[in-house]
């Protein structure tokens, strides 16, 4: 099987090897066409974003205004902070030049002169690797002002790396733009969408690292080739990062639409000790978890996972065996979202806190059946009522974990329904009136 994003060519991250294997040829090809033709090509290829929402990349690009006197920007999202996701770093490490080439092509297609590659701050090592590759591309005059001469065309673009500083929320596209502008990473209210008002109020496109890395291959081999790989409605390969209770965790590239069970048992070597699977989160911790006894036939692409009641997200698959305490898992997930909520919207700021506290109470053995319903109701009140999708991301795991594993959660709470009765002694006690003294 051909690998598109992480080709199995030794030292592919060295520019010589990359060039020897057709590197930077797609850029040349692109410059013989018009930006609209490129957008059309990507649209027809069916490429969908790999950053979480699986939105059509070509369609997103086509939202960029054609006539504007403002500068346009491209942001490449390498924040990668979703628990369970660790694929973009593999691209930084093994295929940086294809990412750079993809960035140049995208800039040309949408008419951007500057691209920012946002990488999470913890990735010091990978930022250095990526910076080295960018410097190399500049030195060879593949990018920057001098690319005009190299390619003999009147277009140039720059690529800068922006280092994040440890905030999950900065992966959200509007928060990412605020972060680049040097502000707190608060998500913005949409609309206006980034294509209308993005970085510094200018038209901006935001795409994930893996999405952009696919672009040179699509240009090279044509949209028809790409659209025939994997699941028809979500074509191409996907980097699956599989972690948790499997024998061979890691990042694997496979065509979309592969069987989840294939991925777990054949690719990742199954579950240690041949244990049964209790739960799988198929796309990073924000996505609804699936029951281990309902994995047969589930395929790893956006449409199939939606049908199965979850979502592809970032393709980060977390596997939990039969001995896992799901309460502890859910508590940990809720702690994460509470910690990462930026605090702008009340439902998210307060709701994530209350969900964590309630789960904590259950964990300490003081929970009741009613608490489980309370949790679902809090989750329902967050979902859809917030500025950004972190609210939904916090609500879904709670809602779906408890609904789908109600049998297990009932074991963690007290069986008898506890009805809070007002304290009788207290309610009968006479309360001294503060005014009593005056009436004496």
Ligand X SMILES: Cc1cc2nc3c(=O)[nH]c(=O)nc-3n(C[C@H](O)[C@H](O)[C@H](O)COP(=O)(O)O)c2cc1C
156 binds ligand X per the rule CB under 6 A: no
Q: Which does residue 304 bind out of other proteins, ligand SF4, ligand X, none, counting CB within 5 to 8 angstroms by kind? A: none
Question: Which residue in 120, 188, 234, 299 binds other proteins (CB under 8 A)?
Answer: 120
139 binds other proteins per the rule CB under 8 A: no
Q: Helix 96-110 crosses helix 35-45 at what angle (to 10 degrees)?
A: 120
Q: Which does residue 10 bind out of ligand SF4, ligand X, other proteins, none, counting CB within 5 to 8 angstroms by kind? A: none
Question: Which residue in 35, 52, 102, 351 binds ligand X (CB under 6 A)?
Answer: 52
Question: Which residue in 157, 268, 342, 355 binds ligand SF4 (CB under 6 A)?
Answer: 342
Shortest separation between residue 75's beta carbon and ligand X, angstroms:
8
Range 92-113 burial, b when 16+ CB lie within 10 A, else e? bebbbbbbbbbbbbbbbbbbbe
d(CA 308, CA 298): 7
Bridge partners, residue 208, by sequence: 77
Q: How many CB atoms lie within 10 A of CB 380?
A: 14
Shortest separation between residue 48's beta carbon and ligand SF4, angstroms:
23
Shortest separation between residue 315's beta carbon and other proteins, angstroms:
12
Q: What count of Cα atoms within 13 Å lies in the side-chain half-sphere of residue 150? A: 19
Of 21-29, 279-287, 368-376, 380-388, the segment contacting ligand SF4 by CB under 6 A is 380-388
Shortest separation between residue 223's beta carbon and other proteins, angstroms:
31
Q: How many CB atoms lie within 10 A of CB 190?
A: 13
Shortest separation between residue 387's beta carbon and ligand SF4, angstroms:
4
Question: Which residue in 20, 55, 306, 406 binds ligand X (CB under 6 A)?
Answer: 55
390 binds ligand SF4 per the rule CB under 6 A: yes
Of 14-22, 25-33, 165-173, 425-433, the segment contacting ligand X by CB under 6 A is 165-173
341 binds ligand SF4 per the rule CB under 6 A: yes
- The answer to whether 216 touches 285, Cβ cutoff 8 Å, is no
Shortest separation between residue 383's beta carbon and ligand X, angstroms:
13
173 binds ligand X per the rule CB under 6 A: yes
329 binds other proteins per the rule CB under 8 A: yes
Question: Which residue in 51, 58, 315, 367 binds ligand X (CB under 6 A)?
Answer: 51
33 binds other proteins per the rule CB under 8 A: no
3-class secondary structure for the chain?
CCCCCCCCCCCCCCHHHHHHCCCCHHHHHHCCCCHHHHHHHHHHHCCECCCCCCCEHHHHHHCCCCCCCCCCEEEEEECCCCCCCCCHHHHHHHCHHHHHHHHHHHHHHHCCCEEEEEECCCCHHHHHHHHHHHHHHHHCCCCCCCHHHHHCCCCCCEEEEEECCCCHHHHCHHHHHHHHCCCCCCCCCCCCCCCCCCHHHCCEEEEEHHHHHHHHHHHHHCHHHHHCCCCCCCCCEEEEEEEECCCCCEEEEEECCCEHHHHHHHHCCCCHHHCCEEEEECCCCCCCCEEHHHCCCCECCHHHHHHCCCCCCCCEEEEEECCCCHHHHHHHHHHHHHHHCCCCCHHHHHHHHHHHHHHHHHHCCCCEHHHHHHHHHHHHHHCCCCCCCHHHHHHHHHHHHHHHCHHHHHHHCECCCCCCCCCHHHHHCCCCCCCHHHHC
**Which is closer to other proteins, CB of 30 or CB of 290?**
290
Question: Which residue in 20, 139, 165, 189 binds other proteins (CB under 8 A)?
Answer: 165
206 binds ligand X per the rule CB under 6 A: yes
**Which is closer to other proteins, CB of 188 or CB of 245?**
245
Tell me which residue has tokens 């051909």. Answer: 2
Site string for ligand SF4, 139-178 (x = CB under 6 A): ------------------------------x---------
388 binds ligand SF4 per the rule CB under 6 A: yes
Of 57-65, 87-95, 300-308, 384-392, the segment contacting ligand SF4 by CB under 6 A is 384-392
312 binds other proteins per the rule CB under 8 A: no
- Where on the chain is the footprint of other proteins (CB under 8 A)? 71, 80-86, 88-89, 120-125, 160, 162-168, 179-185, 200, 241-245, 249-251, 281, 285, 316, 318, 320, 324, 328-329, 332-333, 336, 339-340
- Where on the chain is the footprint of ligand X (CB under 6 A)? 49-53, 55, 77, 79-82, 169, 171-173, 206-208, 211, 388-390, 393
- Where on the chain is the footprint of ligand SF4 (CB under 6 A)? 169, 187, 341-345, 348-349, 386-388, 390-391
């Amino acid at each position: 099987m051909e690998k598109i994003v992480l080709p199995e060519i030794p030292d592919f991250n060295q520019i010589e090897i990359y060039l020897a294997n057709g590197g930077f040829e797609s850029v040349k090809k692109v410059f013989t066409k018009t930006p609209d033709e490129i957008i059309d090509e990507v649209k027809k290829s069916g490429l969908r974003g790999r950053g979480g929402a699986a939105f059509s990349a070509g369609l997103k690009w086509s939202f960029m205004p054609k006539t504007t006197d403002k500068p346009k920007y491209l942001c490449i999202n390498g924040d990668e902070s979703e628990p369970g996701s660790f694929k973009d770093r593999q691209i930084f490490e093994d295929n940086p030049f294809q990412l750079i080439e993809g960035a140049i092509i995208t800039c040309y297609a949408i008419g951007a002169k500057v691209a920012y590659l946002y990488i999470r701050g913890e990735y010091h090592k990978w930022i250095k690797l990526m910076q080295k590759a960018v410097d190399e591309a500049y030195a060879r005059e593949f990018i920057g002002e001098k690319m005009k001469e190299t390619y003999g065309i009147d277009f140039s673009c720059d690529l800068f790396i922006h280092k994040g500083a440890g905030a999950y929320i900065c992966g959200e596209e509007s928060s990412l733009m605020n972060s680049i502008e040097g502000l707190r990473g608060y998500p913005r209210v949409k609309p206006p969408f980034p294509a209308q008002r993005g970085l510094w109020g200018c038209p901006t496109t935001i795409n994930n690292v893996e999405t952009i890395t696919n672009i040179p291959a699509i240009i090279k081999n044509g949209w028809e080739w790409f659209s025939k790989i994997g699941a028809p409605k979500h074509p191409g390969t996907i980097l699956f990062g599989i972690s948790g209770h499997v024998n061979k965790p890691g990042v694997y590239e496979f065509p979309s639409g592969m069987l989840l069970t294939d991925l777990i048992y054949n690719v990742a070597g199954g579950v240690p000790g041949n244990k049964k699977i209790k739960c799988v989160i198929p796309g990073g911790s924000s996505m609804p978890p699936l029951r281990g006894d309902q994995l047969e036939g589930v395929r790893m692409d956006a449409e199939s996972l939606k049908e199965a009641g979850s979502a592809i997200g970032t393709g980060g698959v977390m596997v939990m065996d039969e001995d896992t305490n799901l309460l502890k898992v859910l508590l940990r997930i809720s702690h994460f979202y509470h910690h990462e909520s930026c605090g702008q919207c009340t439902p998210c700021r307060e709701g994530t806190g209350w969900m964590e506290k309630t789960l904590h109470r259950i964990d300490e053995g003081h929970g009741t059946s009613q608490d489980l319903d309370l949790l679902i109701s809090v989750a329902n009140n967050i979902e859809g009522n917030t500025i950004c999708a972190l609210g939904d991301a916090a609500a879904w795991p709670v809602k779906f974990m408890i609904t789908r594993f109600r049998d297990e959660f009932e074991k963690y709470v007290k069986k008898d329904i506890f009805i809070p009765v007002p304290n009788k002694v207290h309610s009968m006690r006479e309360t001294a009136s503060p005014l009593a003294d005056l009436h004496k």
